[in-house]
Amino acid sequence: MEKDRADLKRPLTYWIGEGAGWLLHHVVTGLAATGITPNMFTLVALGVNSCAAALFAMGQFRAAAAALFLAAFLDMADGQVARRSGQVTAFGAFLDSTLDRYSDLGLYMGLVVYYTLIGRTFYMVLAAIAMASSFMVSYSRARAESLIPSCKVGFMERPERLVLLILGGLASRMAPALWVIATVSTITVVHRVVYTWQELKAGRSLPEAGASQMS
């Protein structure tokens, strides 16, 4: 009885998360049963992301958002399928991370092309800045973690950026999404630079960091 009362007090977001988790569990179980490898899901996600990029370039923002949502699901599913089927590999993680960078660049390039074609120079530059700052979020973490144990500070990771692009596409208002991505991504990069400097100054560096700085 007390458990039932506690469940009734849970917020709506909890039940949405529970429902999504239940659905994802069953979908992933079905996908794992097909025998399709996680790397194949990664490659399919790249293809769907490429379609989304082309749709962005043509100004079909809502269709691009739908394609991007599907690509995000596939990108999430590959890791889940790998764990469920016991096919987790270091190369799979490397391939997924590498193709994610190409997918991101393609999406922003699609927006750069769109704003260039319609003669909106300011927004073309904004899309380019969002693209560069998004890349730097990933690069700053990768470079920092070659010097210190971990650098997960900051907010604007890839999932947050994809959510903003999807919301912007659904609303056919990409400019606000690009403003937020460009601004918060830049803040995240600065945060990671400062955090890495503080960690190194405190002596919390990896053993190989000294050799890396000397080479």
Q: Annotated catalytic sites, by residue?
A: 100
| Best CA proximity match to 60, nearest among 101, 117, 99 | 117
| Best CA proximity match to 57, nearest among 127, 126, 135 | 127
| Best CA proximity match to 41, nearest among 90, 104, 100 | 100
* φ, ψ dihedrals at 202, nearest 5°: -80, 0
Q: Give dist(CA 127, CA 165) in Å, integer.
A: 11
| Residue 184 CA neighbour count, 13 Å, CB half | 15
* Dihedral-angle region of residue 203 (phi above 0 means left; psi in -120 to 50 means alpha; beta otherwise): left
